[in-house]
Structure 1
Amino acid sequence: MPDAEPSVLAHVPPPLPGARTLEPVAQSRLLVALESVLEPVLTVLSLWLLAWWIEGGVGPNWLIASIVAFALSFPGRPLLRAPADKVAVTVLLAWGWTAGLMLALGFATGHIDDFNSEVVLHWLWFAPTLQLAGHWVLRHAAPQIMRLQGPPQRAVVVGMNDQGCSLADRLSAAPYAGVQFIGYFDDRTPQRQRGGERHPMLGRVGEVAAYVKRHRVEIIYLSLPMASQPRIKELLDALKDTTASVYFVPDMFVTDLIQGRTDSVCGMPVISVCETPFRGPAGLLKRASDIVLAAFILLLISPVLLGIALAVKLSSPGPVIFRQRRYGLNGEEIVVYKFRSMSVTEDGARIEQARRNDTRVTRVGAVLRRTSLDELPQFINVLQGRMSIVGPRPHAVAHNEMYRGLIKSYMVRHKVKPGITGWAQVNGFRGETDSLEKMEGRVRCDLDYLRNWSLRLDLYIIFKTIRLVFTDAAAY
């Protein structure tokens, strides 16, 4: 599919039913998930503990009751930053509602006599006590949980207007958002700037892209008026040479979206312009499928790996494994493994791509490259978390630095982990890219993959790659 140009700005319609939003006080997704299951899990746990203590085990009747209790209490309330008295009142009222419904259901159906009255009576006070204790523990553990998730993502706001200042204030007041607000970019004169006394001014709008690359900013919130359409388009084009996630704060969006979706940050609506598809459950699914498939494949091909290693070692002097620096997720450098297929191991500022009848390719290497068997050690990279089985192919650092200045949106492909195979490779862009047009085609395919990712698409690419290995002569 062609890569659409971002040219038209339009008003954003109201969020669709079921649109994904965050709570008004932003928190990390892990903390949100923990709060959503805290009360339901502790409700069930308190019942099981009492049944085991009083009756010596958890019978079928208690299992059924625990399922009903979990369903009635899920999801739990977000109370991490609420005052202690509000937490107590909310927990007691919610538990009173759950317990009252279950007791009424028991009396109405006549099954109340199937349950030990001693367990039921103790459950009425033990469950809310355990829930309150759980909220207290989570509140004190939250800072440690945030540290385990790594440093906060650095964010800037472009546009010092009312909505931009409001978002900056909310981000600064949200300690569990996992986002560190750095400052503003704006072209306004000091007299027209709002919020400058509360947050630092980092520069003008035209300096955003350079600052983002220099200081490794990960999130950009664009709070610019619709009248600034040409300036917005120019800024978006400049930001395509970065790996930052870009969101619009005003009620507008562009047509060329990478995983575009409505969202909410600290209670303010935003629209993602460029985002990874592997957030939340999708990221867990992608990583789990990578681990399972890579481990299974490595176990299956271990004899082949040993045979290739021996052939490479005996055929020419040099190491068996060729290590080369590539760009990985978010443009970070990674080390990628391959079976050595050439008489040289280049990894410098200038690297020449392999060409047909390249004299640097060894006899064994020619077979490995034609069948892509030289890529097999990259399944180890997948288990290490540096790569994925399916994703944009990683290029040498020298090639990356060259093409990022020639092809718009080139760096957007680094919003995901690089892959052993990808959508470009099964669509005719495998092997040498000896022209700018071929590399542009490869990048277009990579961006299409980001827009349309699904596990089904990954499996399709894997099976098509297996077929191409035995029929495609593009690699050499």
Structure 2
Amino acid sequence: MTTSIIPVIQNYYSVKQQPQDNPPQYCTIQWRRNQLIVMPPGQVKQPPMPSLHKKQLLVECLKRTPATLVRIDPKLGEARLKFWADASFAAGKPIFLRIPSTHKQPNMINSLFGLLKRLSDWLMALIFLLTFAPLILGLVSLMRLHSQGPIFSSQWHIGERGKLFKVLKFRTTTTQQKAFEDDARDREGVEVTVLGRWMLKYGLDRLPQLLNVLKGDMSLLGPKCWSLEEGSRLNSTRLRELNALPGLARLSLLEEKFKTVDLVAEK
């Protein structure tokens, strides 16, 4: 029988010693306002919970919990974050990183601006998808002909207010390993396909991310979209940057390009 990860959480259970056949607990579970909070272990410990170490057990427990979402502390590290993200995804529960907030509840003007921006992102992403549809279909056909394996690669990234979501890309390697490196020179031990090298050169591997924009996970223009690996290493100050909606194209890179153009024009 599956061990529930949700005791009646108005109290904590203090356990001085755990059975030797149970691995040490790496986190503390707390229930708060219909949210399941996953934190590093503190002074107060909870009973051994096998479901925290086995993905399928955790999925079943998450399915039965009335919690509407999961919040997890980034201090648990990339491996644990990915474990919980995969389990939450399988259980149909959204999962967020616990990050410091940068502002209070948005007012009416900000809400209206956000709605208009979301609508413009959706319309532009749809137009781009329709425009590049022949190219996308051509790339899919070429991948089917010249390489085996899935068409897309996916990786956990961090969205607005710390929400974890899967970013899509065309697969450019013969394996799933390191499919999201920004530079092919960093792909040590990974074989990049001929078509993949060409897509990387022109940034065509990122075309599927227009679907992420349509879903609302990303904006067309915005700050960097941090991967889960990168986000787990950010300090408390940099974690505040994860409150913003990330962009398909980085505003900072565009600003640098405009500065470069201005300098060349002045010369």
Task: Please report the TM-score for the alignment, with normalisation by the length of structure 1.
Answer: 0.31
Matched with 1:294 is 125
Q: Among 78, 82, 101, which residue is 1:244 paired with? A: 101
Deviations 1:111-138 (A, max 9, x none): xxxxxxxxxxxxxxxxxxxxxxxxxxxx
Q: 1:413 aligns with which of 218, 237, 241?
A: 241
Q: Deviations over 1:207-259 (max 9, x none)?
A: xxxxx975xxxxxxxxxxxxxxxxxxxxxxxxxx9241346xxxxxxxxxxxx
Aligned length: 164
How far is 1:427 from its partner? 4.6
Q: Does 1:394 align with 2:225?
A: yes
Counterparts in 2 of 1:220-299, with a 5 A limit? Answer: 242-246=99-103, 279-299=110-130
- Name the residue aligned to 1:345: 176
Q: Displacement of 1:291 after TM fit?
A: 1.1
In 1, the alpha carbon distance for the partners of 2:181 and 2:123 equals 35
> Kindly tell me: are residues 281 and 299 of structure 1, through their superposed partners in 2, closer, same or farther at Cα, counting changes over 3 Å?
same
Give the secondary-structure state (helix, strand or coil) at the position aligned to 1:344. coil
Give, in angstroms, the shift of residue 364 of structure 1. Answer: 1.0
Q: Distance in 2 between matches of 1:300 and 1:382?
A: 15
Asked if 2 retains the 8 angstrom alpha-carbon contact of 1:325 and 1:347, the reply is no
- The equivalent of 2:154 in structure 1 is 323
Distance change >3 Å, CA 393–CA 360, structure 1 → 2: farther
- Residues 69-99 of structure 1: per-residue CA shift (max 9 Å, x gap): xxxxxxxxxxxxxxxxxxxxxxxxxxxxxxx
- Which position in structure 2 is the counterpart of 1:311? 142
- Which amino acid in the other structure matches residue 284 of structure 1? L
Q: Which residue of 1 aligns with 2:42?
A: none
8 Å CA contact retained: 2:220, 2:249: yes
Corresponding residue for residue 335 of structure 1: 166
Q: CA deviation at 1:423?
A: 1.3
Q: How far is 1:376 from its partner?
A: 0.7
Alignment of 1:41-120 (within 5 A): none
The superposition leaves residues 421-473 of structure 1 with CA deviations (integer Å, 9 ceiling, x where unpaired) of: 011232559xxxxxxxxxxxxxxxxxxxxxxxxxxxxxx9xxx9xxxxxxxxx
Are the counterparts in 2 of residues 290 and 382 from structure 1 also a CA contact under 8 Å?
yes
- Contact (CA 8 Å) 2:140, 2:151: kept in 1 or not? yes
Summarize the Cα distance change of 1:367–1:409 in structure 2 as closer, same or farther, 3 Å threshold: farther
Mapped to 2, the partners of 1:294 and 1:415 lie a distance apart of 22
Which of structures 1 and 2 has the bigger CA Rg? 1
Does residue 367 in structure 1 map to residue 198 in structure 2? yes
- 1:281 deviates by 1.5
1:356 alignment counterpart:
185
- Structure 2 distance, partners of 1:311, 1:409, is 44
- The 1-side partners of 2:181 and 2:132 are apart by 30
1:422 to 250, 253, 261: 250
What do the CA deviations read for 1:123-174 (whole angstroms, capped 9, x no partner)? xxxxxxxxxxxxxxxxxxxxxxxxxxxxxxxxxxxxxxxxxxxxxxxxxxxx
Cα distance in 2 for partners of 1:373, 1:352 equals 14
Helix, strand or coil for the counterpart of 2:110?
A: coil
TM superposition shift of 1:357 = 7.3
* Structure 2: distance between partners of 1:360 and 1:326: 23
The offset of 1:352, in angstroms, is 6.4
SS class of match (1:386): coil
Q: Relative to 1, partners in 2 of residues 1:414 and 1:357: Cα closer, same or farther, differing over 3 Å?
A: closer
Deviation, 1:279, is: 2.7
1:357 & 1:213 partners in 2: Cα distance? 30
Q: 1:336·1:381 contact (CA, 8 Å) conserved in 2?
A: yes
1:378 CA drift (Å): 0.8
The whole-number CA distance in structure 2 between the counterparts of 1:386 and 1:399 is: 18
Matches within 5 A, 1:151-230: none
- The answer to whether the 8 A contact 2:102-2:240 is kept is no
Equivalent positions of 1:121-140 (< 5 A) are none
SS at match of 2:153: strand
Percent identical across equivalent pairs? 27
Gaps of 5+ in 2: 1-32, 34-70, 74-97, 262-267
Distance, in Å, in 2 between the alignment partners of 1:356 and 1:298 is 29
Residue type at the aligned position of 2:128: I
1:435-454 correspondence to structure 2 within 5 Å: none
Higher helix share: 1
Structure 1: distance between partners of 2:256 and 2:193: 25
DSSP-derived class of the 1:245 partner: coil
Q: Return the TM-score normalized by structure 2.
A: 0.53
Instruction: Supply the AA of the counterpart residue of 2:223.
Output: P
Q: Which amino acid aligns with 2:240?
A: V
Contact conserved, 1:213 with 1:242, CA < 8 A, in 2?
no
Match of 1:384 in 2: 215
RMSD: 3.4
Query: How far apart in 2 are the matches of 1:213 and 1:322?
Result: 24
Contact 1:243 1:331 in 2 (8 A): no
Q: In structure 2, what residue type is equivalent to 1:292?
A: L
